[in-house]
Amino acid sequence: MMRLIIFFLIIFLSGTPAFTQSIAQDSAGQIILIQVKGVISPLTANYIKRGLKTARKNKCEALIIEMDTPGGLLDSTKEIVQAFLDSDDMPVVVYVSPQGASAASAGTFIAMAAHIAAMAPATNIGAASPVQMGGGGNVQTDSVMQKKLFNYTQSYIHSIADRRGRNAAWAVTAVKDGSSITADKAVELNVVDFIAKNRKDLLNKLDGRTVEGKILQTQRAHIQELPPNRAEKWLSILIRPEVILILTMLTIYGIIGEVTNPGAIIPGVAGVISLILVLFASAVIPLNTAGFILILLAVGLFVAEAFTPSFGVLIAGGAIAFFLGALMLFQDLPESMSISFAWLIPSTIVMVLFFIWIAFEGIRVQFKTSYTGNQAMIGKVAKVVDEVSPHKGRVFVRGEYWNAISDEKLKKGEECIILEVEDLTLKVAKFLSEDKA
């Protein structure tokens, strides 16, 4: 009886849509798809490696990477390429998509390192010439370093193309001459394998291809998208040059705010948090040390202006140092990650205005008459407790009762302003709305 019930239960479940869909998906296989858009960074490398790990764990048919990138960091690119070359058990497909996308610079290395490379119509690949930035050495030294970098990247992309059976000669020209070609030309020159109009077309053309001895069955495969996790999303924002510059400014404002107002807490906390985030960004991407030094010099000149008035000379020097420092800060990054003048100029102006205000306040305080003790009560508003006349009276101020006199009579409950302090007696006058408290 129990066997009969189980038999009918199986028949019933096999007819349900959910059960049928599950069987179909299992038999058709699964594909992990990730989307790489924007600059190639260490976070991109982590995202791609996470995609590979997930694809292996789920025993997928392949990992598909939809890519549209202007380039990125060479170290991150090498990390991704190495992960592809070591992936003998998991086919990797790089699909330059959507239409109008590009696999420029670092993207060229990544596409050619994949087991299968495909492009959407109206896309392009190439322009992989490395850019040697930063420095500060002489022209001859920079020229030698640039030549070494070109030689290295040419041999590197040549070895990648050879490993995947692609056009190594063109790959070298993409680095040496910055060549860039369309999708049609890339297929013709054996740079990529084929053109796919969309994901469905991609799966159809992948089906039946052999990768590392494995025949792909992708025509009916189920695509599961793997989005960036929260950490990758937030950290990718932190390593943007604009954000790093803002955090640097917040660090300066916060620390100076806490030093000038001990116990304020909020400026100090904000400054320390911003500093930690800047240190994190500098550990993830290469920031120019000379840029940091120039920014610190600028802060020193700004602060010095508040204590040694130089009629704007130190402010001007600080502005120049800050601008050049912020410009140099991102010199070691590829052009796609450089900071624009649309950010640099306003940031410099804001920084200069901030320290001009600090310098003005510092000078004003230095020349302001200092009052201590009872003299600090001059100008304060008091309340008449007992009628005040030229001979006697009492007022209430700062939680205390004081004897008071006035040239005119003041009634109980009226407000008065303190003019002088003579021993324990205040000389007051009737408070008018235009009087300063």
Q: Which two tokens stand for residue 203?
A: 């799966």
**What's the pLDDT at 49?**
95
Say whether 161 sits in a helix, a strand or coil.
helix
Range of the domain at 67: 25-232
Q: Which of 350, 367, 384 is where one domain is finished?
A: 367
**Domain assignment of residue 133, yes or no:** yes
Number of domains observed in the structure of the chain: 3
**pLDDT profile of the chain (437 residues), mean per 10:** 37 38 49 92 92 94 94 90 93 95 93 96 90 44 73 93 94 92 95 95 93 90 91 80 86 79 78 86 77 86 73 83 86 70 85 76 56 71 92 88 91 90 88 64
Residues 261 and 382 in one domain: no
pTM greater than the 0.75 cutoff = no
| Spatial separation of the C-alpha atoms in residues 266 and 288, rounded to whole Å | 29
pLDDT tens digit sequence for 404-428: 999 999 999 899 999 888 878 899 9
| Spatial separation of the C-alpha atoms in residues 423 and 125, rounded to whole Å | 88
Residues 95 and 189 in one domain: yes
**What's the pLDDT at 369?**
55
Task: Write down the residue that tokens 């990247």 correspond to.
Answer: 153
| Spatial separation of the C-alpha atoms in residues 27 and 202, rounded to whole Å | 19
**Domain assignment of residue 100, yes or no:** yes
Residues 381 and 360 in one domain: no
In contact, 93 and 207? CB cutoff 8 Å: no
CATH number of the domain where residue 142 is located: 3.90.226.10
Residues 337 and 195 in one domain: no
Residues 125 and 271 in one domain: no
Q: Which of 331, 346, 367 is where one domain is finished?
A: 367
**Domain assignment of residue 20, yes or no:** no
**What's the pLDDT at 196?**
96
**Domain assignment of residue 179, yes or no:** yes
| Nearest-10 crossing angle of helices 230-238, 266-284 | 100
